[in-house]
């Protein structure tokens, strides 16, 4: 199970602060379990690992099998919560180099997460004339980026396979009854999967949103869900032994001491998109009403040679949360060198995992000397099971932490503002007045 170690942050906590948070954590935890807190209508993820729809889960496995059989590539179209979890799983559990590897599962391309012609054009070029399928994912069914990309790939599929052939290659994951994508899917007869009403985008990785791309790329989604269920059981404890309580408490205590930036530091490049997923989860959940820890992520040791300077020595408003895996997927040792010209013979034969751990400890001490509190999260290994555990751990910690902070961790009113402006500027019918106002501001 995931462990949280706050020892590197303790000296920065106010005296008695951790114990004093216990009653608030209990209230927050009960509110999540009983569905009585702010945004309770979006807490379906709390019991999801036990209660998920087994029938839909089987349909996901069949669709994944169908994709693997008929396609050399899968284009996964989505943004934000409809994108990051699947990519995080693919990179962590298969490889950041997944598409370049020899394998019996399709290449996976992620589209619809930008408004970049270059990015879309590159995917089209890489697809070439290979057989492919599309999984278009949008809970609202109205998000611009995936909708624009879907037009391109739908058109390509229809030209390549005809309307009937295309329909068998399009898998839509969306709201069960509302939205433009649901309408389009129903009218065209696409295979559909639902995002449950009570689960918001950034908490949806363990629904069809994440599970279909994972299953298509050969990840054992059964093991992912088993790991999440283990975490759900282990993290049900309502006491200060609970790692999710500890993590939520630690970060809030540090925030209260003026540490406004949390730097999630990981040592496995395969964790990069878990970092992106984590940033969305915490940033979108907590950053509201003028409050919230700013979530940043760094990849060590690469970023020790860049951001390391700032973390060591820049503004002191940050704390660091390190993520450690006890067992890597592969461990390699340092090769011998006949002349020892680099003076590194003392490392010959020693595993990179061992060296990485010493780098972690050395960094922790150096950053502590620089006034940076350190929290540590440890997972046993990189596996489907621990991925499920981590997802549930972070979701629960985020819900608890948001309630401690006094915000609704399940809404995101702030992300609408840019969309309204963009749509008005692009000439959406009915936005004429806003467009005139915005253009006047741009011109002034
Ligand atoms: O967490 C969220 O709700 C958002 O990040 C959404 O996931 C993102 O905006 C994509 O929305 P949709 O799935 O409706 O296209």
Show which residues are catalytic.
Answer: 284, 419
Query: Nearest-5° angle of CA 58, CA 63, CA 64?
Result: 95
**By the 8 A CB rule, do 108 and 76 touch?**
yes
Q: Is the pLDDT of residue 414 over 90?
A: no
Q: Is the pLDDT of residue 419 over 90?
A: no
Nearest-atom number in ligand 1 for the CA of 202 is 1
pLDDT at position 444 is: 86
pLDDT in tens, 325-379: 999 899 899 999 999 999 999 999 999 999 999 999 999 999 999 999 999 999 9
**By the 8 A CB rule, do 25 and 177 touch?**
no
Q: Ligand 1 pocket test: which of 39, 135, 201 has the largest number of ligand atoms within 8 Å of its C-beta?
A: 201
Query: Nearest-5° angle of CA 291, CA 293, CA 299?
Result: 155
pLDDT at position 266 is: 98
Rounded Cα distance, 426 and 210, in Å: 31
Question: Is any ligand 1 atom within 6 A of the Cβ of residue 201?
Answer: yes
From residue 187, alpha-carbon distances to 76, 77, 133, 180 in Å are 21, 19, 19, 11
3-state DSSP call for residue 176? coil
pLDDT in tens, 239-263: 999 999 999 999 999 999 999 999 9
Question: Is any ligand 1 atom within 6 A of the Cβ of residue 82?
Answer: yes
Q: Which CATH architecture has domain 47-220?
A: 3-Layer(aba) Sandwich (3.40)
**By the 8 A CB rule, do 4 and 250 touch?**
yes
Question: Is any ligand 1 atom within 6 A of the Cβ of residue 140?
Answer: yes
Nearest-atom number in ligand 1 for the CA of 81 is 7
Contacts of 21 (CB under 8 A, 6+ apart): 249, 252, 253, 404
Question: Is any ligand 1 atom within 6 A of the Cβ of residue 311?
Answer: no
pLDDT at position 413 is: 84
Q: Which two tokens stand for residue 160?
A: 């390549």
Report the separation in Å between the CA atom of 180 and the middle of ligand 1, taken as the mean of its atom positions.
14
Q: What is 327-390 written as a DSSP string?
A: E-S---BPPP-TT-TTS-GGGTT-BHHHHHHHHHHHHHHHHHHTT--EEEEEEEESSHHHHHHH
Residue 110 bridge partners (DSSP): 76
pLDDT in tens, 390-403: 999 999 999 999 99
pLDDT in tens, 146-180: 999 999 999 999 999 999 999 999 999 999 999 99
pLDDT in tens, 45-98: 999 999 999 999 999 999 999 999 999 999 999 999 999 999 999 999 999 999
Q: Is the pLDDT of residue 225 over 90?
A: yes
pLDDT band at 141 (very low <50, low <70, confident <90, very high): confident
Question: Is any ligand 1 atom within 6 A of the Cβ of residue 388?
Answer: no
pLDDT band at 142 (very low <50, low <70, confident <90, very high): confident
Question: Is any ligand 1 atom within 6 A of the Cβ of residue 367?
Answer: no
Q: Ligand 1 pocket test: which of 112, 115, 143 has the largest number of ligand atoms within 8 Å of its C-beta?
A: 143
Contacts of 241 (CB under 8 A, 6+ apart): none
Residues of each domain in the chain carrying CATH 3.40.50.10490:
3-38+225-405, 47-220
Closest to 121 in 3D by CA, of 109, 135, 139? 109
Q: Which residue has the least CA distance to atom 8 on ligand 1? A: 80
pLDDT band at 183 (very low <50, low <70, confident <90, very high): very high
pLDDT at position 2 is: 97
Q: With a cut of 0.85, is the ipTM above it?
A: yes
Nearest-atom number in ligand 1 for the CA of 284 is 1
Nearest-atom number in ligand 1 for the CA of 203 is 1
Closest to 79 in 3D by CA, of 173, 186, 177? 173
Contacts of 176 (CB under 8 A, 6+ apart): 182, 194, 195, 196, 197
Report the separation in Å between the CA atom of 203 and the middle of ligand 1, taken as the mean of its atom positions.
10
Q: Which two tokens stand for residue 242?
A: 């609970």
Q: Is the pLDDT of residue 128 over 90?
A: yes
Query: Across all residues in the chain, what is the average pLDDT?
Result: 96
Give the H/E segment covering residue 263: strand 261-266
Place of tokens 């067992």: 327
Report the separation in Å between the CA atom of 105 and the middle of ligand 1, taken as the mean of its atom positions.
27
The phi, psi pair for 156, rounded to 5°, reads -65, -45
Q: Which residue has the least CA distance to atom 3 on ligand 1? A: 201
Contacts of 440 (CB under 8 A, 6+ apart): none
Please write down the HEC assignment for all residues of 59-101. Answer: HHHHHHHHHHHHCCEEEEECCHHHCHHHHHHHHHHHCCCHHHC
Strand ranges of the sheet holding 261-266, from the earlier edge strand across to the other edge:
3-5, 374-381, 318-327, 261-266, 294-299
CATH class for the domain made up of 3-38+225-405: alpha beta
**By the 8 A CB rule, do 141 and 194 touch?**
no
pLDDT in tens, 6-51: 999 999 999 999 999 999 999 999 999 999 999 999 999 999 999 9
From residue 275, alpha-carbon distances to 72, 266, 286, 427 in Å are 28, 8, 16, 36
């Amino acid at each position: 199970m995931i462990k949280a170690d706050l020892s590197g942050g303790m000296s920065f906590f106010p005296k008695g602060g951790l114990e004093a948070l216990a009653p608030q954590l209990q209230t927050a935890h009960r509110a999540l379990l009983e569905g009585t807190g702010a945004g309770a209508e979006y807490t379906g993820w709390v019991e999801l690992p036990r209660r998920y729809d087994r029938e839909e889960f089987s349909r996901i496995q069949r669709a994944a099998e169908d994709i693997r059989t008929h396609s050399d590539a899968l284009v996964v179209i989505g943004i934000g919560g409809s994108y990051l979890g699947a990519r995080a799983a693919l990179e962590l559990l298969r490889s950041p180099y997944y598409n370049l590897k020899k394998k019996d599962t399709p290449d996976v391309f992620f589209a619809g997460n930008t408004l970049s012609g270059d990015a879309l054009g590159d995917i089209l070029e890489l697809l070439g004339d290979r057989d492919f399928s599309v999984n278009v994912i949008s809970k609202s069914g109205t998000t611009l980026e995936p909708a624009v990309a879907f037009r391109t790939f739908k058109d390509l599929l229809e030209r390549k396979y005809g309307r009937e052939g295309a329909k068998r290659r399009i898998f839509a994951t969306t709201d069960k009854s509302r939205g433009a994508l649901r309408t389009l899917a129903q009218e065209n007869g696409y295979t559909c999967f639902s995002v449950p009403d009570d689960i918001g985008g950034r908490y949806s990785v363990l629904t069809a949103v994440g599970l279909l791309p994972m299953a298509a790329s050969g990840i054992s989604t059964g093991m992912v869900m088993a790991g999440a269920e283990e975490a759900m059981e282990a993290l049900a404890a309502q006491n200060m032994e609970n790692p999710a309580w500890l993590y939520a408490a630690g970060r809030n205590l540090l925030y209260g001491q003026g540490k406004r930036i949390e730097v999630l530091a990981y040592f496995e490049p395969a964790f990069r998109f878990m970092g992106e997923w984590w940033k969305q989860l915490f940033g979108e959940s907590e950053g509201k009403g003028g409050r919230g820890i700013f979530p940043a992520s760094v990849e060590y040791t690469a970023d020790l040679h860049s951001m390391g300077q700032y973390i060591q020595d820049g503004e002191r408003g940050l704390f660091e949360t390190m993520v450690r895996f006890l067992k890597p997927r592969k461990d390699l040792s340092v090769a011998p060198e006949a002349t020892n010209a680099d003076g590194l013979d003392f490392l010959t034969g020693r595993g990179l995992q061992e060296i990485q751990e010493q780098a972690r400890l050395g960094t922790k001490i150096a950053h502590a000397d620089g006034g940076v509190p350190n929290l540590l999260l440890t997972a046993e290994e990189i596996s489907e099971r621990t991925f499920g555990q981590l997802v549930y751990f972070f979701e629960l910690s985020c819900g608890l932490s948001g309630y401690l902070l006094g915000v609704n961790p399940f809404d995101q009113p702030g992300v609408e503002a840019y969309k309204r402006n963009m749509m008005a500027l692009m000439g959406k019918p009915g936005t004429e007045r806003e467009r005139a106002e915005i253009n006047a501001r741009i011109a002034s």
